[in-house]
Each structure stands twice: as C-alpha cells, then as structure tokens.
A and B are shown apart, each in its own frame.
Chain A
C-alpha cells in the first residue's frame, strides 16, 4: 500500500511528462505500461496518425482519444498512384469529418493522403473547426475550387494550405479572393497542382503581401515568369519557393528584375517548379544557389551543360530531384560538388521511348555512391544495371535507408553478365542494415527474395514487380522480414501457398497488395474466414470471381488488418468472403 503511494504521481504530473513524448510509437508504448497510464495518455494525446483509414473507424478513435487536435489519415494503397486502383474503390474522408465535427470542435490540423475529399467535406471543415490551422491534401481528389473557397473564407486562423499532387476540379479562378482582407496568418501555401486558369494574380499578390509569416509558397503553372519577381519582392522572407512556368522570351529588363528579386530573398533554401524552364533564365537564381538545400528540377526541361552548371553551384544541396537529362556526366559533377547530398531522385524524361534518349546509366548512380557520404535515399530510373554496380553502391553506402531502383524494361538482365540481378540487390540488403524501403526491378529469381528475407530485418516497405519464380519467393519475404509493414506486388508468379502459410504474418503488417499474380478466389475466401481481423478485398472489375474457373487468379488483392471489421462503402467491383451483398450500401 505504502509502496504504491510512494511511487505514484498525480495525474497532472504524468500528463506533463507525457507532453514531451510526441512520436506515436512512444505514445503507444507509454499507454501499455499500466491501466492508469493508458487512461492518462489517452486524455492527453493530441496527435493521431492512421496509416490506413479502414484499419479503424472514427468512432473507435474518438472513443479512445477524446481531445485530439491533429489527425493524419491515409486512404488508397500506394499503387493507386499508378492507376492500379479503380476509381470509386474508397478512401472517403467525409465520414471522418462528420464524426470529428461533433467530437473535436477544437481540431486544428487535418492531413490526408490518397483520400477522396469532396467539396462537402471541405465545407464541413470550414464550418466546424473554429481554430483550424493546417490542411494538407496529399494526392487527394474529388474536390473543386469551390471547396477551397469555403476554406479560404471561413478559416480565420489558417496557417497551412497544401494541396500537393492533388487533383482539383477547376471551376473558378477566384477562390483565392475568398481569403478576407483581414486574413494575415498564412505561413505555407502549396497550389502547385492546380490547373491552368485557377489563380487570380492580383489576389495572390495581395495575399502574399499581407502575410508577413509566409515561409512556403509553391505556385502553379499558370503563374508566368514575369509575375514571379513581384511576388518575391513582397515576400523576401520566403524559405521555400516554387515557380510557375519558367519560360519567357529573354528580355534583359525582365531578367535583371527577376535576378534582383531572387537575390533579396536571403532565407531561401528550397526551390521547385521550373516547368518548361529555359536556360536563359536559369542564371536568375544563381545568387541563391549557394544556400540551397533542396532543389526540384524534375519538371525542368533544361539539359547539360546548363544543368551541370546549375547543380555545381549548389554545394549545400541535401535534396535533388531531377530528370535524367542530368546524365552520368552530371551526376559525376554532382558527386564532386555536393557532399551533403542525402536524397537523390532521377526521373525519366522519356519513359515510353523505345531507345534511350539520354546517356544515363548505372554509372551515374555509382559515381554518387562514391562521392556523397551522406546519401541515404535514392529513387533512380534507368535502362541498364549490373550486379557489379549494385554491389559497389551497397558497399559504398551502407547508410542507405531508402533504395528504389526502376529499370524501365521489366525483367532486364545484368547487361554485362546477362544474369539476373539477384546478387546485386542481395548486396544492397546485406550491407544496408538500416534499409527501410526497397523497390526492386530487373530480372529477379526467388533467390533475391531469399536474400531479402535473410538480411532485410529493418525493411518496412517492399515493392516488387515482374519478379520471382514461385511461391517460395513470397514465402521468403513473409517469413523473414521481421519489420515488414507494407508489401506491394504486381505481375509475379506468387500464389495461394505462400499466402496461406503466412496468414498470421499479415496481421502484423499494415497491408499487402497483389495484382496480376496467381492467387485464387478460394484462397482469398479461406483467408478471410480464418483471419477475422483481416479485411481481404478482391478487386476485380470482370464480375464475380465465382463466375470464372476455380484456377483463374483474382485480378487484384488488397489485404489489410482492421479492428473496424468489413467496410460498408465497398463498390461493386470489390469482393469479399461475404457472398451476399447485404453489407453494401443500397
């Protein structure tokens, strides 16, 4: 009795201590210590992250965490980015907004990724949360500029509006004018995804001019080059800036005005945009290059030598996104001038061309691996690769945490030895012990999965396409990768055996996606029946899977753990173990 009292703090003290613990993982750990800690923690948790919106439902969340101020939700699976998930599959945010409007009147932040957001949802947000501050819609869709107008008009304390990569229906260009003249609290605005006619320049300039705390401004393509200078002059405190279309006829007065505007932005650390960039105007940004830590040229059409010259002027660069116009020679230059580089993404300028249009090979990436000691995140599109190159990269850079290689032609072999690339990727997982994310490509046998299962103990996300020989491959991954959370597979000969043998593993993961593989509907039904805490969704637009022969594989399969049970908003082309459609909306 006495012992207990001596060691127990008043709740307020514990709450205060917990307030220093921000990460979800730590918070979850705290809540598991004992009942009283669970209770205290749940009352003071302010931030919720739901990695799969169907893993739980709003009511459960609200019941456990009554005082939430910030929520992040993710909807569709990652492969939706590549049009593999049919429209109408799901990921609707409205039911969440509806419940939260009632339960969390003091909600300040909503961050959504790959969800369907309607204008009605946006209007409800605008109406319901008086202290609303942050709205991030990452790769979302389903809303129009009308919804944005509602947000602009009502959210007096809005600090951040970020629409990155979302699909917005452009109905009217005047939504920006809905920010009242008294509104001055904007800190971050990302409208880079908006289509052509959607922004009124004068409204934009006025908005920028009256928001002294504006740090991030990412414009859309509609903003022409000659308007940039005026905007920059009104916001010299910007840290992150995205241009619009960066092309114009070269006029010395426009150029020098622009260059002057850039040079007055002493805090500028990150640049992006540069759609259709012309070399003539690139020197306008030279004055800020030495301070740049992040540069996104992945929409810029400039090529070498202009491109090489530009990156060579940015020694502080930590993050570079670029098209393969940079070529091996440019990457070699990058390797010698940017020693702080942590993240590199090289996108293909002509992914569907038959012949390579640039001289970008595995050599560029090898050069980077030699020259950039801090490199930890790579996304690289190329057309040839060798095991030797991958081994070199792995040995040079054991600190890699994210490695995504996309060799453009499926099943491409090692161009030197004509062998599969198993050994190369094997070296990656063996040497890079902290690897959290890996995407494979090229010709790969079951062997590579054996390596992955053996070595990739910290791997959380694996993407596989056109690889493997048999169920053994899938089995290696599911049985060996202890930290695996997300597995996405397409066009691989993986079938029922490995899936059913590792059913229990699936409950330890967030989700599994398999499309164009060899899994039968029977196995899916069985899995769904045996594992009640898994939702097994067969996505098949060809009609009911039972209308095809038993051996015909399902088209797409999405399995995820859930405490919310089967979802109630499934479209007609999603099939589950439940034969009758009484669970569907009617």
Chain B
C-alpha cells in the first residue's frame, strides 16, 4: 500500500524535534560527519550502516514507523519543549486536535479507549491515530499587535496536512524563496514542505513526496517502496489504475534493494546522482526530483557523484 503521507501528522513534526534536540550536537558532529558522509557508497540507502543518520527507526513497515513516531513524541515531552495544548486564547477550546482525539470532550462519537492525553485511540494493529499537536506561541490573546510577550520561544510549528489551504505550486514557490521582513532564521524552519516528483520507470503516473517529512534515507526509501509497490509487479490496469493484488513485503525489498532498481535524484545542477551518497540534509537541499530507475541504466552515475563530493567538501 502507498504511504499515507496525508496522515502523517507525527511524521511532520518529527524532523523538527530532533533538530531541536541535536542543535547542540550538530556542531560537534558536523566535522566528524562530513568526512564519513561524503565517502562514496554504492547501492541504496540503508544497505550500509548510516552512521550519520540520526533516527534509525527501522521503518520497514507502517507499524514500526508509527511507533517510532510515538517515541518522538515522548522525546519532545522529556526534552522540555514547550508543548501547550491550548486552542488559542482561553476560549475554552480543547486544542488543536483532530476531533477523534478530543472526542471525549466533545460528546461526539464514543472512541474506543485512549492512550496518553496526546493521542487518539489505539487501533487493533497497533497504529495510533495521529493527533495534531501545535506549539502554542502565546498563552493568551492572539497575535496581531503584541509581539512582545516572549515567554515562549518555539522553533517552529508542527504542521497539519493540507492546512492552511494553500495549493502546492504556491507553497513550493514560497518555500524556495522565503523573503522575510525581519531576518528571522527561525521562521525558515517552518517554511512548509518540499514536494519533489518521483518517477519510476514503467509506472503509469508520477507521485510526489514531501522530503521534509522524512529524517533519513531509510524512511524515504521505505516510503517509496510502499508507494510504488503496486507497480513493481506490473499489475496495472489501463492508464494508471493499479490493481489491488497483495504483495508481500519481502518481495518489494528484494526488488528495490536487490538488483532491479536503484533510486536516483536530480540535483540543483541538473545532474543525476545516486541517492545516499551525501548527508541527508545536503540531499534535501539539493534534490529537485527523484527517479527510480532500472539498475542497468544507472551505471555511470557513481563516478560523477564522487567528483561532485570532492567539489563540495
């Protein structure tokens, strides 16, 4: 099944949590990271041990990905970030959750149990509902005139999928050129999403992924596997309507991690590179689009990658 990007409330907030956590570590790690990171590696991300990959969530299934995300939540609480569950200015709202999680308060449909105060009900297969958690910027009174409260200093906001309702082409435009009135570097963290197109050789239609919601190559790779799983066995109907045949996960992994396909990307300079050669952040900064291509066509990418890395060190 395809990865439910639209659901990924937790996933959206995830990368931001570790960025808060490791902000102090980054500088220390950077020098050490850099050398290792620019070593030439052949093959897909995850096939070698990604030491510079900060969250090794072992995300080979939706279930484990979600449980990894839950871990991210408790990290946030332990990490002392200011998570305030208020819906704005004391107006008696339950906070910015989707109604499922705040259903108990609302007197809406009864929901089967609930775990923490954060989350919604736990489902049979272990995957939780994903609540929306937003860092509150001011405890009382809305923004507008008063900028001066300053008692809370969040780095950025967790984002709700599809909200505010701004179309992708507009979001992508602003994301790549975010002009700020005041040079507030912090604000850039919340600069939206970064949709890139993913094309798989032989697939009937393109997909889009938001690179910002992944923290590592492994996550991205896993998401792509899910997304394109229905194509790999060539079971598509006419013009983009794939069939609903069950595919075992092991078969997917064999196809993508094995010899048949490799994941490549086009960078800012227009060159096609193997995914996985550079540190994750460098990759998301320079990736314009992705292509899952047959291994046979990918020969000859490696040397270019090596040259480029030499240039950027």
Contact = CB atoms under 8 A, between A and B. Distances in A.
Tell me, yes or no, whether A binds B.
yes
Interface of A: 79, 81-84, 86-88, 90, 92, 94-95, 116, 118, 120-121, 139, 141-142, 165, 167, 169, 193, 197, 275-276, 298-299, 301, 303, 325, 347-358, 361, 381, 383-384, 406, 408-415, 418-420, 439, 443, 463, 465-466, 469-471, 490-493, 495-496, 516-518, 520, 541-543, 547-549, 551-553, 555, 569-573, 581, 584-586
Given A352-B191, A355-B187, A548-B123, A443 B161 contact: no
Contacts of B207: 87-88
A81 B5 contact: no
Contact of B173 (A121, A299, A573): A299
Given A352-B157, A352-B159, A518 B170 contact: no
B288 to A, nearest CB: 9
Given A415-B142, A420-B91, A551-B112, 9 more contacts: A83-B6, A84-B6, A275-B173, A384-B142, A409-B96, A413-B91, A516-B100, A552-B121, A585-B243
A169 B208 CA distance: 12
Contacts of B156: 352, 354
A548 to B, nearest CB: 6
Contacts of B141: 415
19 contacts: A83-B5, A83-B168, A351-B164, A352-B157, A354-B187, A355-B147, A357-B184, A409-B134, A410-B87, A413-B87, A413-B89, A413-B91, A465-B163, A470-B107, A493-B106, A516-B99, A517-B99, A541-B6, A552-B112
A193 B167 CA distance: 13
Given A410-B163, A470-B107, A542 B177 contact: no
B202 interface: no
Given A303-B181, A411-B88, A518 B108 contact: yes
Interface size class of B (residues with CB under 8 A): 35 or more
Interface string B213-240: 0000000000000010010000101111
For B154, B163, B191, the residue with the greatest tally of chain A CB atoms inside 10 Å of its CB is B163
Contact of A354 (B95, B137, B170, B240): B137
Contact of A357 (B98, B112, B187, B235): B187
A165 B167 contact: yes
B244 A584 contact: yes
B100 A553 contact: yes
Contact of B99 (A84, A384, A493): A493
A354 B155 CA distance: 8
Interface of B: 1-7, 62, 87-91, 93, 95-96, 98-100, 103, 106-112, 121, 123-125, 127, 134-135, 137, 141-145, 147, 154, 156-157, 159-171, 173-174, 177-182, 184, 186-187, 190-192, 197, 199, 204-208, 227, 230, 235, 237-245, 270
B7 A541 contact: yes
For B156, B169, B173, B187, the residue with the greatest tally of chain A CB atoms inside 10 Å of its CB is B169
The 5 closest A-B pairs by CB, nearest first: A585-B237, A82-B162, A413-B91, A572-B244, A493-B108
Given A88-B242, A555-B7, A584-B244, A415 B89 contact: yes
B165 A406 contact: yes
Nearest to B236: A585
Given A418-B89, A584-B243, A518 B182 contact: no
A88 B124 contact: no
A164 B240 CA distance: 22
Contacts of B182: 357
A82 to B, nearest CB: 4
Contacts of B186: 354
For B106, B108, B137, B243, the residue with the greatest tally of chain A CB atoms inside 10 Å of its CB is B108
